[in-house]
Amino acid sequence: MGPQGPSLLLEQFGPLQGVRVLSTGSIVAEPVAAGMAAEMGAEVIHIERPGGGEDWRHAEFPIEAPDGEQVASSWVQDRRNTYYTTLDFSTPEGQEIFLNLIRRTDIWMESSKARTYDKWGLDDAAILKANPSIVICHVSGFGQDGDPEYVKRASYDFTAQAFGGMMNLAGNPDPDPPSRAVPWTADYITALFCLWSSLAAYIHAQRTGEGQVIDLAQYEAVHRILSGTMVAYHELGMVRERAGNKAGNAQPWDTFRAKDGWVVVAAIGPVVYSRVCQVLGLDPEDEKWVSARREIESPQGIEFDAILRGWVEERTMDEVVATMNDSQIGCSKIMNAQEMAENSHYQQRGVHVEWEDEQLGKTVKGVGIVPKFSKTPGKIWRGSVPVGHDNDLVYRDLLGLDTDALDGLSERGVI
């Protein structure tokens, strides 16, 4: 038993063993960050509202459990290895319980509009007073401060993709509409920012004993991965727009239709481009084709694209992929779920694994642990569980509440 109290995990594993994460967000971004930590050995306690829990439990592509409950496929995939409790923060008893959990926690992650917890007396100052070394990661759509009109706005994955600039670059040019990246790409990007920043602050806390607060705005996480878009604007006055799948300054880099489906062909630099020319029977030293690589809208650039498309159209996806890869040219089918499940490389790397899901009462199969660690691998020790499944375990074993106290809290709707 350390200063954070006894570990609830029966088996210690992974690079994050000994780290306790308290998770109080909803929908996708923050809970996914906590779930990834749990797959790497952190002890994660997630809190939902008493009663029905999160609506996201039943959201997309639901699977029916033996009790008739509809469990979302995304919940089954993302909510593994986690202790699930319920708590009403608006009650004095709930606030006391929460602060007792905070005292035993290394990292608290939450997602809500700015200052949501302040109204319950659980502002950052109160949290750091209860545990001076804790890392707090606030995930919100627009941040904890800034223009008040934006700070108070609701935000979802779609909103962040639009406001953060991603959708302006995704899809075909006008008059086609912008496209969103799926599934929930802004949320998953934010989850990755949430986890790495929390762990960076945790390393600092371990070294110095000082906790701190992370202000993670979802739109900023999306905005950060726009490559040089904003430098190009500030330094060149360039406003990038949608260009479809084609690269704007060199070819080939696009989607191409074969006899039986779509492939991507990607060649960066003159060396790989010359390999494409050789596959097509074109002289890579001919100045016409040398210039066609970068002058993609020129007559020779358009002709090169037409020749490549004609070559691809005459062949199956497998033939195109085999020929291109034999010549060390980036090329792949655009894979669907069935193709990925049946693919030999996915299978030999063990990407898809089975685990026991307690809600569904059966073995399920999905994506396993990513990435692979040589010394401290992650693992799946259980699947998703019903609302409040671990109330007794967490509140009894960690906080020391007895059965009578737990029954009373339940009767009053606190847990």
Alpha-carbon gap, residue 44 to 8, rounded angstroms: 9
Alpha-carbon gap, residue 348 to 142, rounded angstroms: 42
Query: What is the distance of C-alpha 399 from the center of its chain?
Result: 31
Contact between 23 and 409 under an 8 Å Cβ cutoff? The reply is no
DSSP 394: I
Contact between 84 and 46 under an 8 Å Cβ cutoff? The reply is yes
Active site residues: 187
Query: Which residues contact residue 137 at a Cβ distance below 8 angstroms, ignoring those fewer than 6 apart?
Result: 30, 33, 107, 108, 109, 110, 194, 197, 198, 201, 213, 214, 216
* C-alpha torsion 324→328→331→336, nearest 10: 110
DSSP 177: P
Contact between 216 and 57 under an 8 Å Cβ cutoff? The reply is no
* C-alpha torsion 376→380→386→391, nearest 10: -30
Q: Specify burial of residue 49 (Cβ count, 10 A radius: 0-12, 13-18, 19+).
A: middle
Instruction: Provide the angle, in degrees to the nearest 10, between the axes of the packed helices 29-39 and 185-208.
Output: 60
Strand partners, 107: 21, 135
Alpha-carbon gap, residue 245 to 10, rounded angstroms: 48
